[in-house]
Amino acid sequence: MLNIKKGFALFLASIFILSITPFVAGATPSNKVAVIVGFKQEPNPQLIRSHGGEVKYVYRYIPAIAASLPPPAIDALRKNPEIAYIELDHEVRAIPLAKPTPPPQPAQNTPWGVAKIEAPKVWNVGYKGAGVKVAILDTGIDTKHPDLTVMGGATFVKGTRSYNDDNGHGTHVAGIVAALDNSIGVVGVAPEAELYAVKVLNKQGSGWVSDVIAGIEWSITNGMQVISMSFGSTSDSQALHDECDKAYYIAGIVLVAAAGNDGPGENTVNYPAKYSSVIAVGATDENDNVADWSSRGPELELTAPGVNIYSTYKGSTYGTLSGTSMACPHVTGTVALILSKNPSLTPSEVRGILQQTAVDLGQPRYDLTYGYGRVNASAAVAATPSRSP
């Protein structure tokens, strides 16, 4: 359990925590338990219904079904030869965000993180992320914000009908990726990237892994090229792992996620950042020092600015937040810049470029605290081969 000191530190860091809770929290009002059922072959919704279950999603890209089941049915189905696994649908919970909202700048301001990774140098050579589709899996995006253009999206949050942001976190993340290059507010890393709001976390920042998977499915179906995930969990999910692998290896989507705020201990990288198909991003400050709370471990791939980051916020406002949640979209934006120079690169080629061009910090070459180093957009795009004619 978190002690009070650490809990407060996490609050300050404003990072999403997925708390995985046992049966009680997974239980629905009808005493059914929210689960994800993996099948060895084709998913079989009729089998779920025949055991008194209610089907929430039949996934398209992995052989799995999200459902709620009476507890005795779970035991019975675990013995069924059609079924590979049954796991709890993890509940997702966010720490409430601090909401400092200083008045908008009179003129456009380039946030320190965007300058630090040298994104403006990339714009000067003609690449601003144009035409690259970026899915922000989060609390939605403020669709009326004057400093953002939201191209489309979807909501998977029960009780909502819009991907508009009712929390603020998703709008902040989106602005880091692609706030518009105009005369107001801030500018993002890739100001011409196409933002899609995929709402998987609700107003309180709560959601379900089953909804996150549905959001990734939407991203595959709708041709997204990059998925940004500023949330994490300390518990593994076979279904989420399979879905990330499918998006990366089959659909060719670059997946970027916040490493987590469980540092400075060893082996503290969260899921989904921990999966090998996902780029795990830790947080650095203005002096390129890693944040104390930034998660560490062998899965950490890169670091990026994540302390005191000024960006767009819900209600057409702006605010300053800290967390690996803010570091992740600096890498997402950099991926958009790379792909706007050469959209035919594979996800693994994009990762290679990011790793080779990162600014080496900490111990020489790769280390568990900074990964390959702090992302450098200018060096990354310079190392990107031009699109073949």
Residues near Ca ion (CB under 5 A): 108, 147, 180, 182, 185, 187
Residues 6+ apart with CB under 8 A from 277: 244, 245, 247, 248, 249, 255
- Residue position matching structure tokens 């089941």: 69
The structure tokens listed for 248 are 């990366």
Amino acid at residue number 267: N
Closest distance of CB 231 from Ca ion, Å: 26
Contact criterion met (CB below 8 Å) for 338 and 353: yes
The structure tokens listed for 42 are 């084709």
CA 184 to chain centre: 26
Region of residue 268 (left: phi > 0; alpha: psi -120 to 50; beta: else): alpha
Closest distance of CB 191 from Ca ion, Å: 7
Closest distance of CB 330 from Ca ion, Å: 16
279-284 and 254-258 beta bridge pairing: parallel
169 flagged as catalytic? yes
CB nearer to Ca ion: give 89 or 192. 192
Closest distance of CB 359 from Ca ion, Å: 26
Closest distance of CB 103 from Ca ion, Å: 15
CB nearer to Ca ion: give 110 or 355. 110
CB nearer to Ca ion: give 65 or 187. 187
Closest distance of CB 114 from Ca ion, Å: 11
325 flagged as catalytic? yes
CB nearer to Ca ion: give 129 or 215. 129
Set 145, 169, 241, 330: catalytic member: 169
CB nearer to Ca ion: give 7 or 102. 102
Q: What is the dihedral of CA 137, 142, 143, 147, to 10 degrees?
A: -110
Closest distance of CB 148 from Ca ion, Å: 9
Cis amide prior to 43 (ω within 30 degrees): no
CB nearer to Ca ion: give 44 or 110. 110
Write a three-state SS string for 257-311: EECCCCCCCCCCCCECCCCCCCEEEEEECCCCCECCCCCCCCCEEEEEECCCEEE
**In the chain, which ranges are E strands?**
16-17, 33-39, 54-58, 64-69, 83-88, 91-94, 133-138, 150-155, 194-199, 207-208, 226-229, 254-258, 279-284, 300-305, 309-313, 317-321
Residues 6+ apart with CB under 8 A from 193: 128, 129, 130, 132, 133, 134, 177, 178, 333, 336, 340
CB nearer to Ca ion: give 182 or 356. 182
Set 89, 138, 147, 262: catalytic member: 138
Set 325, 330, 340, 378: catalytic member: 325
Catalytic residues: 138, 169, 325
